[in-house]
Amino acid sequence: MLVAQPAPARSAVAAPGYWRRLLPLLATLACVTRVPSFVRPLWNPDEGYLAVQARILAHGGALYQTVVDRKPPLVPWLYEGAFALCGSGSLTPVRVLAVLAHLLTAALLASLARRRWGDTAGRTAGTLYLLASVGLNPEDAQAAGFEVFMLPCTAAAMWCADRRRWGAAGAAVACAFLAKQTGGAVLLPVLWLCARQRGGTLRLLTGLVLPVLGAAALTDPAGFLFWTVTGSGAYATTFTGSELHVLLRGLTNTAILTAGCAGLLPPVLRVLRIARTGAADLWLWLAASAGAVLAGFHFFGHYYLQLVPPLVLLATAALQILPRERLSAAVLTACCSCALFLTWGLFAPRAELTHAQRLAHAVADRTRPGDRVLIWGMHPETYWLADRAPASRYLTAGLLTNFSGGRDGPQVGEEFAVDGAWTVFRRETVRRPPVLIVDDSRGRPYGPARVPTLRRLLADGYEETGKVDGAVLYARMP
């Protein structure tokens, strides 16, 4: 049985000017593959949620108190920092950070591959990652979302573990977790590498724990624990009545990723039949990432980004065994696939964005700067587009009805909300009643007809003043 052998150690220091030549090429490719990202004001509700959070934080708000989400704080802080430097009217600064995150991920993967299999493997891994990283629905691949900023942290964790820098590896795992909880899955292959070396476990765990404790201390420790770990049970596990809906989404996004990784999968599958790649840690990384994608059974497209780095390295390992012409075929196939996804990103219509823009325009026309409004729906970007402050810390109806995660089953309603959320919501809307309420449910199961508290709020002091694409606007009566 054939086995891919690591390149001699000297390959890591050979070829003077290697990085001076490779990094500009990777940077150019990173920019080209992210061109669609800059042609729209935003791509999905995650970007909108982060933008609204960042504005609230910039005006003295506190994460997990005056604004909440089921996510760790690292990416909201990145958005807040970008807005502080460049203003909050555009996501362009954040998109630039996303390009840099992809470039860093590509460079780390190139360095890993070069250390193991030589100079050509390094170039291959960096190139294939950037080509394959756009291989999803553009709203998932081009958005500056949580996974984009998680990926360089996971790659850094493996890079540090490969060099036995256990404290730094633990810190990188912590950063991956603080970008998104599922980033912590990279701890599994890191622990495996640490166990093989028979040492460094204490440094690894210390590097992991300290940043997480620091992030908790900088926010609100109890809120951090609740919103990132203990308070998401229903969101993570409940999908009764949504099985077909969830299965269809999972199969669709798996098929899209398969097309996006058309240059990676054939070499891996071919080598699986004829050889071992000597890359058990990479297989473990892929398995842990697949488990992270499966967790909660949501199967959103951007979850699948976590699979790309280990797939790239496994494909690079496989191409070291196969005939040289297979490398050219893999890169050519990846280029063609990338071109198709870039075309999709540049020209596909975005109906929900158009709706959010129209609705934001109507909200801005009916309110004044400084007024608080309530958008009852799943598109928090409307607050950001209208430049109006939300009337509640809960930016979507999902946290108050369990519609979060794209569920369309029967377990949607007030009784399935996050614990204590309605008590807080009622207190917020009584203390500072919203000037305008927008029912953007549009026939979904969290509409006012199924939410008694919202129905009473509308009946007690609001009158209908108009409709926008099915969304109903209610103004507060004098």
pTM of the model: 0.92
Q: What is the CA radius of gyration of the chain?
A: 24
Q: Report the pLDDT value the prediction gives residue 228, as an integer from 0 to 100.
A: 92
Question: Is the pLDDT confidence value at 11 over 50?
Answer: no
Residues 140 and 302 sit within 8 Å (Cβ to Cβ): yes
- Flag the least confident range among 8-22, 168-182, 396-410: 8-22
Specify the DSSP class assigned to residue 475.
E
**What's the Cα-to-Cα distance from 475 to each of 108, 364, 450, 461, rounded to whole Å?**
53, 13, 21, 8
Question: Is the pLDDT confidence value at 10 over 50?
Answer: no
- pLDDT, one tens digit per residue, over 56-97 is 999 999 999 999 999 999 999 999 999 999 999 999 999 999
- pLDDT, one tens digit per residue, over 157-170 is 999 999 999 999 99
Structure tokens at 61: 């708000």
* Beta-ladder partners of 467: 472
Dihedral (CA of 92, 30, 356, 299) sign: negative
Query: How many helices and strands in the chain, by DSSP H and E?
Result: 22, 7
Question: Is the pLDDT confidence value at 424 over 90?
Answer: yes
Question: Is the pLDDT confidence value at 219 over 80?
Answer: yes
- Flag the least confident range among 129-133, 252-256, 392-396, 401-405: 401-405
Q: Residue 36's CB: how many other CB atoms inside 10 A? A: 20
Nearest CA among 39, 40, 51, 34 for reference residue 89: 51
Q: Report the pLDDT value the prediction gives residue 197, as an integer from 0 to 100.
A: 82
- Flag the least confident range among 18-32, 223-237, 447-461: 223-237
The structure tokens 């028979």 sit at: 198
Question: Is the pLDDT confidence value at 6 over 70?
Answer: no
Structure tokens at 143: 């958005």
- pLDDT, one tens digit per residue, over 281-315 is 999 999 999 999 998 778 899 999 999 999 999 99
pLDDT tier, 277 (very low <50, low <70, confident <90, very high otherwise): low
Q: Report the pLDDT value the prediction gives residue 351, as an integer from 0 to 100.
A: 82
Question: Is the pLDDT confidence value at 16 over 90?
Answer: no
410: left (phi over 0), alpha (psi -120 to 50) or beta: alpha
- pLDDT, one tens digit per residue, over 355-395 is 999 999 999 999 999 999 999 999 999 999 999 999 999 99
Structure tokens at 467: 């409709």
